[in-house]
Structure 1
């Protein structure tokens, strides 16, 4: 589902070992790899809360408990589930606000299901559930601060917009619609019912600007990675190529009904890993 943080390949219902995230992270030295799997675990747990079928009040309370636990971690007395994070926080300078932003992003799906947010809200959502993950990750990768923040901004949005375009039908099935209301209006779609929008013949007109925006973010990401040391950008480059390939498959398939699910096959994943994982 699209409500995931974009550190993983498909969704947090899959295991790390079966994802592009796992393939990219296993390229890292041990301490970096452990820190990244801690970030992954955190994202997965808060995402599972947001996507659970439980009462909304209980989910909000569970997310607030994560905020309290993050605060306790940074005050020097972490709860058991975050005790192993202390070393990574110190070693890589992971920032409290980025962890909290991820919780805030997941919470955007909880009080009520997201349906056709305005573009500013959609961009905020992408920043919280994807770029905030990137801001934690680039510190682990050892990138310079300025370029690291820029890469997190652009690559996070590229990945999340690709998720949104890929998961239109899956999200509609659970009552969510992440396509921006401005795009719906420009395409002449007046409904915000996810299933109605997913079936509308004008849907490709809504998707086309998001495809171009994602491509622009991928291009900016490439510029940033090209000017940084290869070891520091190896993992984000693999993720970029995975998601960029998915975007290409989506464009080749098109967004008109019927839409077959799009996935990157194992051969394509292996080719990317061999091309970008060992240079």
Structure 2
């Protein structure tokens, strides 16, 4: 069977919407996070591959999971992640949850409502944040805020890519009831430009994504590791900026990603805000203890 690397799209962690193991992350944690990314990226590319049959995709994903669990060494990405996890005494269950999401991508093309989409995010997004928190030895008490942020990041990606997802994969993550509420059918996503109704629909979903982000506002303060907290603060602010960006643009006819200068400026503001929040939180705690 062809190795999984043959099905890679060419996308790397540097091409993602949000930072992946940036220089803010302590060096000792970056290798295991990047091994996790390589495994996940490869599995995602298999699920999205345009010429593979559905059953072939599922077979490849199953074999990657087998290698992750130590039943073989066919997949270089799975074997590398298995070794990295073993060195850190970490379990593979977060990676396994993501494989469930990719299997869903193979067999499920539509989502009925917001709850249906959030259930997908439970496997496609939330395990990523939980993994990074586990790598840093953070408390599971941080998971709830992280889950909200990660679900929002996933939904933002869906809003940005809704046209390409439909045209290239016949996959629609926008909830069917949201489209129906604005009098839209699936064909609206195949147009060259978005109708006013589609833009209003996407704006409403972007606001719901923003609500999820607000549920995770405290995460940069809750985590103990300062450098991780700053990474989260940057991602959080970039995501908030994107929800407003999406609400005012045409996802079918316009670029839906922030420019490099805007990303840099937003990241600097977020890091400064994160430092300020952590100092303020510690001062508040010290006053309470006096």
TM class, shorter-chain normalised?
Answer: 0.7 to 0.9
Answer yes or no: is the 8 Å Cα contact 2:112–2:176 preserved in 1.
Answer: yes
1:173 aligns with 2:171: no
**Correspondence for 1:220:** 215
For residue 206 of structure 2, what is the aligned residue in structure 1? 211
Name structure 1 gaps, 5 residues minimum.
1-10
Q: Indicate if the aligned counterparts of 2:25 and 2:228 stay in contact, CA closer than 8 A.
A: no
- Write out per-residue CA displacement over residues 190-248 of structure 1, whole angstroms, 9 at most, x where no aligned residue: x3344279855422343233222211111111123233333332222222222222222
The 5 A counterparts of 1:1-279 are 13-19=10-16, 21=18, 25-53=22-50, 54-72=52-70, 81=76, 82-86=78-82, 88-90=84-86, 92=88, 94-111=90-107, 114-147=109-142, 149-174=143-168, 175-189=170-184, 191-193=185-187, 194-195=189-190, 199-229=194-224, 230-253=226-249, 259-277=253-271, 279=275
Compute the displacement of 1:101 (Å): 1.1
The TM-score, its normalising length taken from structure 1, stands at 0.81
Q: Give the SS at the match of 2:70.
A: helix
Greater relative CO, 1 or 2 (CA 8 Å, sep 6+) = 1
> How many angstroms does 1:173 deviate by?
1.4
Q: How far apart, in 2, do the equivalents of 1:241 and 1:105 lie?
A: 26
Answer with 1 or 2: which has the greater Rg.
Answer: 2
In structure 2, stretches of 5+ residues that fail to align are: 1-7, 276-290
Report the aligned-residue RMSD: 2.9
Mean Cα deviation higher: 268-277 or 152-161: 268-277
2-structure distance, mates of 1:40, 1:249: 27
Q: 1:104 Cα shift?
A: 0.9
CA change 1:13–1:239 in 2 (3 A) is: farther
Relative to structure 1, the CA distance from residue 215 to residue 170 in structure 2 (aligned partners, 3 Å threshold; closer, same or farther) is same
SS at match of 2:106: coil
The TM-score, its normalising length taken from structure 2, stands at 0.78
Instruction: Give the 3 Å change call, closer, same or farther, for CA 183–227 of structure 1 in structure 2.
Output: same
Instruction: Assess, with a 3 A threshold, how the Cα gap between structure 1 residues 138 and 91 changes in structure 2: closer, same or farther.
Output: farther
Q: Please tell me whether the aligned partners of residues 20 and 242 of structure 1 are also in contact (alpha carbons under 8 angstroms).
A: no
Closer, same or farther in 2 for the Cα pair 1:201/1:115, shift >3 Å?
A: farther
Distance in 1 of aligned mates of 2:193 and 2:112: 15
Tell me, in whole angstroms, the C-alpha distance in 2 between the residues paired with 1:199 and 1:218: 25
Measured in 2, the distance between the counterparts of 1:192 and 1:86 equals 40
